[in-house]
Structure 1
């Protein structure tokens, strides 16, 4: 799939047709618009822009669902306002330590957009043992957060299970992405 910002409508159609052919499918179940922060919003969402092309492909039965993945919360909210999306994968925290995604969840639910929680562990801060990390790509791992997670670890054993259940039991969350860079790092999920 080509990057939304750099693709013409014809380029998007060719990319979708190529994906369908390579996969041997008549319909792509879900096409995700990834990293919306890397494209210019107004041209991409214009009446004849790339997003309109994707919506047209969905309307013509080549795509079943259209989703957005990642991006800062303000941009995700702006994308939801287009009413073009069926799903939202968010890495804005929604977990035991941080509820930053709350406005995003509420907005998605009000628009009947499936919210997928991609941050149930605040990076790896809420994991136990070797997987636990104070290093993170997107969110601060300051002393206050470390202290809160350490206190939680004393009462929630295993803390990773509590963190996962927090997301799974929220009826507004359609699904939760556990995330692991290798299959061996994902083994902890089967133990929860």
Structure 2
């Protein structure tokens, strides 16, 4: 396995490019001491990478110690073969103004089958060759459904895995996947510790989907527990991930300058170990409905 340099927190840039203050946010993400930055070829139709690249050029290159991660994406028509992976990387490097990336993920391969991805002309062999050529340092799989994630993890070809909304304070769906990744020596990126916002703002969906009744009831019990113990639920959600021995870095999406400032405050908030013990005593979380 190729090692991947990580920080405890990775700043997610999926929303970058969707607001008027995007340039200022790109500058702030690059300058932030909170962690490295994660983007993708298709975030905001390429604007996320473009804005980060402009921010990098404004300061004369990546600040010392700062890394930017990115991901290969299919075309609008769904093409995601080896040629597309190479072209996706070329686009990413051009937008970012970089010669090399520390890691490049195979991102949401929903338009192709696993067998097509693994074929000689598929996306995965192309990533392996790019790693061998040194254009990328490591390769990762970043997708949602656990069954699909497991297929790629179990190939033993990937250096890292990124899963989102599936390993949180109230959901342990990705735990077996992360344990398997650990056995293989992979780096684990745990994204969306708030479950799509639920654990930060109290919205009624989880992972952008309607919650099953049993899961919603469990979530309410965790909220009630946090209220009784005087615990900031959003801070606890982040801390759950950063304290886990299964996680190397927690990817937190940052949509505004205010959110970036709030993240710093959450990370500075103390959450007692007793709270996590009490959450465990509630029993295994029921299915969240994500898969």
TM-score w.r.t. length of structure 2: 0.58
Corresponding residue for residue 99 of structure 1:
172
Q: Is the 8 A contact 2:81 2:121 kept in 1?
A: no
Inter-CA distance 153–69: structure 2 relative to 1 (3 Å threshold): farther
Task: Choose between structure 1 and 2 for higher RCO, CA contacts under 8 A separated by at least 6 residues.
Answer: 2
Work out whether 1:3 is the aligned partner of 2:3.
no
Corresponding residue for residue 261 of structure 2:
187
Pick one of 95, 99, 102 that aligns with 1:26.
99
Pick one of 114, 119, 125 that aligns with 1:46.
119
State the alpha-carbon separation in 2 of the partners of residues 98 and 156 from structure 1. 22
Q: Is the 8 A contact 2:130 2:136 kept in 1?
A: yes
Q: Is the 8 A contact 2:73 2:107 kept in 1?
A: no
Pick one of 159, 167, 191 that aligns with 1:86.
159
State the alpha-carbon separation in 1 of the partners of residues 186 and 194 from structure 2. 22
Within 5 Å, give how 1:20-169 maps onto structure 2.
Answer: 20-127=93-200, 131-136=201-206, 137-138=208-209, 140=211, 142-169=216-243
Q: CA RMSD in A?
A: 2.3
1:117-158: per-residue Cα shift (whole Å, max 9, x none)? 11322232322xxx2222231462623322332223321521
Q: What SS class does the counterpart of residue 126 from structure 1 fall into?
A: helix
Bigger mean CA offset, 89-98 vs 131-140: 131-140
- Give 5+ residue unaligned stretches, structure 1: none
Bigger mean CA offset, 12-21 vs 30-39: 12-21
State the alpha-carbon separation in 2 of the partners of residues 39 and 147 from structure 1. 40
TM-score w.r.t. length of structure 1: 0.85
Q: Is the 8 A contact 1:87 1:116 kept in 2?
A: yes
- Give 5+ residue unaligned stretches, structure 2: 1-71, 267-291
State the alpha-carbon separation in 2 of the partners of residues 133 and 95 from structure 1. 16
Q: Is the 8 A contact 2:164 2:192 kept in 1?
A: yes
Q: Is the 8 A contact 1:117 1:177 kept in 2?
A: yes
Bigger mean CA offset, 24-33 vs 104-113: 24-33
